[in-house]
Amino acid sequence: MIERIEGNRINLRRIKRSDAEVLAARINDITIARNTFIPHPYGVKNAHEFIKKSHQQWQKGNSYTLMIEEPADGSVIGCVGLDNVSKKHRNCEAGYWLWKKYRSQGIMNEAVNLALGFAFRELKLVRVHAYVMAVAQGPLKCGFQQEGLLRKRIKHRGRWRDLLLYSILREEWGVSIKKTRLLFIE
């Protein structure tokens, strides 16, 4: 069972029960809420429920929540989720958020690439896709291609929103991060 993925500037690791308070503090940001389905305000109770659900989904192999951590002190600075994993069709949906203090530094690109490595190497997936509510360059920087525009696909916070659909295939994924290590629990 994977426990940690080490990168150059950040690590990804499984979510822990002890993450609840810092998770609630870092995710409680209106800019995150505007472009995700994460509730706002977001409290410790929300975090505990999310952690419990994440552990259940990991055990079933349906979803993998990977916390982005600062290697120096292990603090949570964001998250990459690989959700709705289809073993039959070997694909999943990616979602992510990053604490505002760490945005615009290339950290999310590294985190997504590490998560893609996990998806393609360990889970043996052939496709990862992402739905994005706003015009975003992040998926493109990680090698995703825009597949389409889903007009008025969702009702989000009281208004109809378009979604952009991005995807990346295993053969398109180029390893831009040389130092990637998976650490396993025995």
Does 177 have pLDDT greater than 80?
Answer: no
Q: In this predicted model, what pLDDT tens digit does every residue of 9-41 receive, in sequence order?
A: 999 999 999 999 999 999 888 888 787 878 889
pLDDT (0 to 100) of residue 175: 47
Q: Is 186 part of a structural domain of the chain? A: no
Q: Is 149 part of a structural domain of the chain? A: yes
Does 170 have pLDDT greater than 50?
Answer: yes
Which residues, other chains included, contact 65 with Cβ-Cβ below 8 Å and sequence gap of 6+? 14, 15, 50, 54, 57, 58, 79, 81
* Domains identified in the chain, total number: 1
Whole-structure pTM value: 0.88
State which residues form the domain around 31.
2-181
Q: Is 108 part of a structural domain of the chain? A: yes
Q: Is 16 part of a structural domain of the chain? A: yes
Q: In this predicted model, what pLDDT tens digit does every residue of 113-150 receive, in sequence order?
A: 999 999 999 999 999 999 988 766 678 888 899 999 99
pLDDT (0 to 100) of residue 130: 94
Does residue 31 or residue 170 have the better pLDDT?
A: 170
Query: Count of alpha carbons within 13 Å of 48, Cβ hemisphere only?
Result: 3
Q: Please, which residues bridge with residue 169 across strands?
A: 127
> What's 103's domain CATH number?
3.40.630.30
Q: In this predicted model, what pLDDT tens digit does every residue of 41-94 receive, in sequence order?
A: 999 999 999 999 999 999 999 999 999 999 888 889 999 999 999 999 999 999
Count Cβ atoms within 10 A of the Cβ of residue 116 and give its class: 0-12 exposed, 13-18 middle, 19 or more buried: buried
pLDDT (0 to 100) of residue 185: 39
Q: How confident is the model at residue 183 (pLDDT cuts 50, 70, 90)?
A: low
Determine how many CB atoms are found less than 10 A away from the CB of residue 74: 13
